[in-house]
Structure 1
Amino acid sequence: MGSILVQNIGKAYKQYPTRWSRALEWMLPFAGKRHHLKWILRDINFHIAPGEAVALIGINGAGKSTLLKLITGTVQPTTGEVQTTGRVAAMLELGMGFHPDFTGRQNVYMAGQLQGYSTDEITQMMPQIEAFAEIGDYIDQQVRVYSSGMQMRLAFSVATAKRPDVLIVDEALSVGDTYFQHKSFDRIRQLREQGTTLLIVSHDKTAIQTICDRAILLDAGHLAKEGAPEEIMDYYNAMIAERENQTVRQNKLDNGKVQTISGTGEATVSNIVLLNAAGEQVEMIDVGSDVTLQIDVKVHRPIPRLVLGYMIKDKLGQPMFGTNTHLKDLPLENVEAGESIRYRFRFPANLGPGSYSVATALTSGETHLVDNYEWRDLALTFSVVNISRTHFVGCTWIDPEIAIQRP
C-alpha cells in the first residue's frame, strides 16, 4: 500500500531582469543576487493515507501540475519535502517520456523500464497493454504520427498495466474520445477497489465525487481548502463565478453537510419547500409521485432580467436533472427592488430511492458565470422511497411497456 506525505512544500523559480543578469550572477557570485524569486507554490501540507483517493482541483495556473511533478520527483522543491511509499505510477504531461521517433512498442519498453519493470515483465504485459490501448497497427509506428488521444491511450495502458501502489493522474485523461475516458475511469475504479492510493487532477465533477474520498483545492499556489468532494467542488464552482471570492461563504448544516452560497445579492431565495399533490410540505416522497418545488425569491435591487434555475442532485452531488426559466422561455424582465416572487415547478418525481438535494441559481441568463445574483447549494434536501412501484434498480424510474413475441 502506498502513501503520500507533503510537508511545507514550496517551489520558486529565479527570474532575471535581463539575459545578462544570469551570467553576471554566476561570474560575480559575491556581488549580490541579480534575480528575484517567482513563487509557484508555498506552504503546501497534506497527507494521503494508503488506499485513499484524493482529487486535486484548481483553476489553470493554480500550481496543480507543478505539485504533481514535485510529488513524482521530476522537479525538486525549493522548500519542504515529499515522502512517498510504494511503487508510484504517474501520468502527467501527455506523452511524457515518449520519444517521437520511436515506435509505440519501443516506447512501451522504455516507459516500463522507467517504472521499474524488467524487459521480460514488459514482454509478458505487452498483449494486455495493446488490448487496452486499442490503437491497432499503430503500436509499431512512430509516436510522431499518433494523435493526442492515441498517446494518452498508450501512456495510460502502460501506467496501469500492473496495479501500482500509488497512481497519479494529471488532466491527460480529458484528451481523447468519451469511450476511452469511461474505460480509463473504470480501470481507475478497479485499482481503487484493489487498494491503490489515488491522486487525480480532474474537473469532472461526477468522476471526482464518485471515486474520491477527499478533495484539495489549490488557489494561486496555496492550499485554499480541503474536505469532502461535494463541498470542495461546490466551493470551487462558486469561486469561479465570483473570482474575487468576497461573496462566497459556507455554512455547516444540521445534517453535517456544508452548504455553499455565493452571489452579488441583487436577489436571494427566501424560502424553498417541496409540496405533495395535496399541497402539503413534505421531506419524503414516493417514487413517481407528483410534487411541486416551491421557491420564494426576494429582490433587493433592480434587475433588468431575472432567471431562476434549480438542479436536483443525488447524495454524491451528481446531477439528476436541472433546468431554468431561461431555458423554458420564462425569464422576468425589469424586476423592481422590493418585489417578492413565488415560483412553482410541478413534476413527477421519477427518481430512484435515496436522498437528494436541490441547488438554486438566480442569474440573468442560462448560466451563473455572467451575473450570479445568488447560487445556493443544498438549498433543500429530501428523500425518495419506493412504496407503490415494483422493485427496480437505478437512479430513475423509467417504467417500460413490454411486448414479447414467440415464433
Structure 2
Amino acid sequence: MMDPVLEVKALGKAFRDYGSEFKRFASWFGVKVTPKAEHWVIRDISFAVGRGEAIGIVGQNGAGKSTLLKLITRTLMPSEGSVSVNGRIAAILELGMGFSGDLTGRQNVYHAAGLMGFTREQIDRAMPEIQAFAEIGDYFDEYVRTYSSGMQMRVAFSVATAFRPDILIVDEALSVGDAYFQHKCFKRIKEFRELGTSLMIVSHDSGAIQSLCDRAILLQAGRVLKDGDPVEVMDAYNALIAERENSTMKVERLEGGRLQTTSGTLEAVVDSIRLYSEKGEPIEYVDVGQPVELRIDVHVKADIPRLVLGYLIKDRLGQSIFGTNTHHTKQVLEDARAGQELHYVARFPMNLGPGTYSISTALVSTDTHLVDNYEWRDMALIFTVANHSHPHFVGSAWIPPYIELTT
C-alpha cells in the first residue's frame, strides 16, 4: 500500500494491577515492576489504511473495538506496538465528545473544536455551518444538560465534521440519531470519501458496513479474526454471534471465488436449494417479475422440538433485500424427528432489479438464529436477474407505476 494514512503495527493494550500506586508510578519511569495482575484487552493487531479507503470494524461486545479506536486517537497509550498517523483525525468515539452539560451547545463547539487544534477565528467562520447542519434551532444556545441524546449527537457530528479530516472515525454514536439525521450524516461521510478522506466506522449495521466500506476487520477476544471483503467479514461475524456450545463454523470457497460461511449445531441442515420456473424447470437467470419457486430440502439429523426455516435475499453488496421465515408465516414444524426429509417451496414473483443476488438460509427454533442455531448458511444460492420484457428502470426493486398525466 502506497503512503498509508494510518498504520497499526503489533498493537496491544494491557490493563495492569501493580498492587500499589508507588509501583505503578515507578513503572512509568521505566523501572521493571512485575504487575500483580494483567489483562490484555487487545494484542498483536496490525493493519494499514490507505488514503480514501473506508474500513469497518466489527466484533461482539468486549472484542476490543472501542479500545482500538482510543489507541488510534491517542486517548489511550499502547502497552506494545505503534500507531502511525499521516494526517488529521476527527473522531466521534462516544456520545457528546466529552461535552459539558454546564455549557451551551455553541460554547461546547468552541471548546471541542479548540481541542481539535482550530483557532477561534477558524471556529467563528465555521460556526454558522455547524449550527445549520445540527438543526436544533434555539437549543444551540441552551445548556447541553437539557439536550436529548439525539441532539447531543447532532452537535457532536456537526463539529467533528465541520473541517474535513484526513481520517474520520465514527463509533456507534450515530445509532442514537433519528433516521433523517442518520441519512444526512452518511451523505456527508460519502462526500468526504469522494474528496479523499479515509473512514473507520464501528457498527453492528451490516448494511452500513457493506455499503460504505472497502474492507472490514473482525475482532474477536482482542485479536484480528478476519480482514477482508466486507460481505465475507459480515458473514463470518453473523456466524460467530450465532455460535453456541457444540456448534461449528465452516468457511469454504465457492466457484467464482466467493466465500460461503456455514455455522450451527447441524442438527438440521439444508440438503439442496434451487430456483425453478412456473413450469418446474431449474433456472439460474430470472427475468424481472418472473414467477419463481424457491425449493429448499432439509434433512433433520436429531429430534428438534421446534423447527423454523428462514431465507434472506441479498444484493451483490450483501445488503438485505427481503427475508422471512416460517415463524412469521405461522408454519412452524413441531417435534421434528431425526431422519425426516422436509421439502419447502416458496412461490413469489421476482420483483427485483437487474443484478446478481444471493440467498442465505437459516434453520432455527424461533424467529432469530441467536437462540438455537441449527444451521446458518450464507450464499446458499446465487442467481442473476435480467430485464428481458419490461421498460428500462433503475434500482433494486420492480415497482411498475401507472402514471397519469393531466394538462
TM-score w.r.t. the length of structure 2 is: 0.95
Q: Distance in 1 between matches of 2:248 and 2:13?
A: 30
Q: Indicate the residue corresponding to 1:71 in structure 2.
A: 72
What whole-Å deviation, never above 9, does each CA across 1:105-146 have from its counterpart, x for those lacking one? Answer: 111112112222221111111111111101111111122222
Q: Indicate the residue corresponding to 1:327 in structure 2.
A: 328
Give 1:375 shift. 0.5
- Which of 2, 6, 9 aligns to 1:7? It is 9
Contact 1:304 1:333 in 2 (8 A): yes
Contact 1:297 1:341 in 2 (8 A): yes
Q: Indicate the residue corresponding to 2:20 in structure 1.
A: 22
Q: Distance in 2 between matches of 1:281 and 1:35?
A: 66
Give the SS at the match of 2:338.
coil
Q: How many residues align?
A: 402
Q: Indicate the residue corresponding to 2:187 in structure 1.
A: 186
Give the SS at the match of 2:132.
helix
Q: Distance in 1 between matches of 2:26 and 2:79?
A: 23
Runs of at least 4 residues off by over 4 Å = 26-32, 243-246
Q: What residue identity is the alignment partner of 1:9?
A: L
Q: How does 1:349-364 map to 2 (within 5 A)?
A: 349-364=350-365
Q: Distance in 2 between matches of 1:102 and 1:335?
A: 62
Q: Indicate the residue corresponding to 1:255 in structure 2.
A: 256
Contact 1:69 1:75 in 2 (8 A): yes
Q: What residue identity is the alignment partner of 1:396?
A: A
Unaligned runs of 5+ in 2: none
Give the SS at the match of 2:145.
helix
Change (3 A) 1:318 1:362: same
Q: How does 1:3-402 map to 2 (within 5 A)?
A: 3-15=5-17, 21-23=19-21, 25=23, 33=34, 35-243=36-244, 246-402=247-403
Change (3 A) 1:69 1:23: closer
What whole-Å deviation, never above 9, does each CA across 1:330-361 have from its counterpart, x for those lacking one? Answer: 11122221111111111100000000000001
Q: Percent identity?
A: 57
Change (3 A) 1:32 1:119: closer
Contact 2:42 2:222 in 1 (8 A): yes
Q: Distance in 1 between matches of 2:117 and 2:398?
A: 49
Contact 1:350 1:398 in 2 (8 A): yes
Change (3 A) 1:268 1:55: same
Unaligned runs of 5+ in 1: none
Give the SS at the match of 2:375.
strand
Give 1:96 shift. 2.2
Which deviates further from its counterpart, 377-386 or 336-345?
336-345
Q: Distance in 2 between matches of 1:39 and 1:48?
A: 24
Give 1:2 shift. 6.7
Give 1:23 shift. 4.1
Q: Distance in 2 between matches of 1:28 and 1:372?
A: 51
What whole-Å deviation, never above 9, does each CA across 1:33-73 have from its counterpart, x for those lacking one? Answer: 45221111111111111111000011111111111010011
Change (3 A) 1:272 1:24: same
Q: What residue identity is the alignment partner of 1:191?
A: F
Give the SS at the match of 1:81.
strand
Alignment RMSD (CA, Å):
1.8
